[in-house]
Amino acid sequence: MSVLVAVLRVGETPPIGAGMRPRFEAHLYGGGLPRFVGYRVDDGPRLVRLSGTYAPAFSESPAFPVTDLLLAVPECRALSAIAQRLDTLSTKAEANYGRDFTAMVFSTDVEWGSDGYGRLFEARSQLEAHPFEGEVSLTLTPGATADQRTALRANLDRIRGSTRVFTEADGDETP
């Protein structure tokens, strides 16, 4: 049985006095092959599951688990200062290779050399080089491995926007 080891939330931080309004949540399940399950957050709020799963290579240097999730969900891409460029790259990938960033991340292999990898690599670089208008919060539970913790935190450090990390042991780690 898999165990939930991390929850990643992406959304907008409203004015003081209110909490974060997530647009997207991704839950990382551990086990034989750790993988993210993604959800859009609809009005209600209600979690609507995205089809497929994402198994990032946490041991890669650098790893892109957060960046890939932001690129996979159009509502999250919209929070980037260069959202239009990212959408264009996703549309070009779909036109040329039959799969957009959502399909690349949640349905298929995005290894180096795979169809459309160049567009995804460019989009990763662009997203991390420009301001991100939303907030990314990450909750790490004791089930998260050292590789997962290191990769997720390093990826958050490359995102040019508000980020927070929560852990069970010490609460909110970053303002």
pLDDT tens figures, 49-102: 999 999 998 998 999 999 999 999 999 999 999 999 999 999 999 999 998 999
Question: What is the C-alpha separation between 143 and 157, in angstroms, rounded?
Answer: 22
Q: What is the DSSP letter of 80?
A: B
Domains of the chain: total: 1
Question: What is the C-alpha separation between 66 and 56, in angstroms, rounded?
Answer: 9
The amino acid at residue 36 is F
63: three-class secondary structure by DSSP: coil
pLDDT tens figures, 123-175: 999 999 999 998 999 998 888 889 999 999 999 999 999 999 988 765 555 44
Q: Is 122 left (phi over 0), alpha (psi -120 to 50) or beta?
A: alpha
Q: Which of 60, 40, 66, 74 is nearest to 165 (CA)?
A: 66
- Angle at CA 72, nearest 5°, toward 29 and 122? 120
Whole domain around residue 47: which residue ranges?
A: 3-172
The answer to whether residues 33 and 161 touch, using CB atoms and an 8 Å cutoff, is no
67 or 115, higher pLDDT: 67
pLDDT at 16 over 70: no
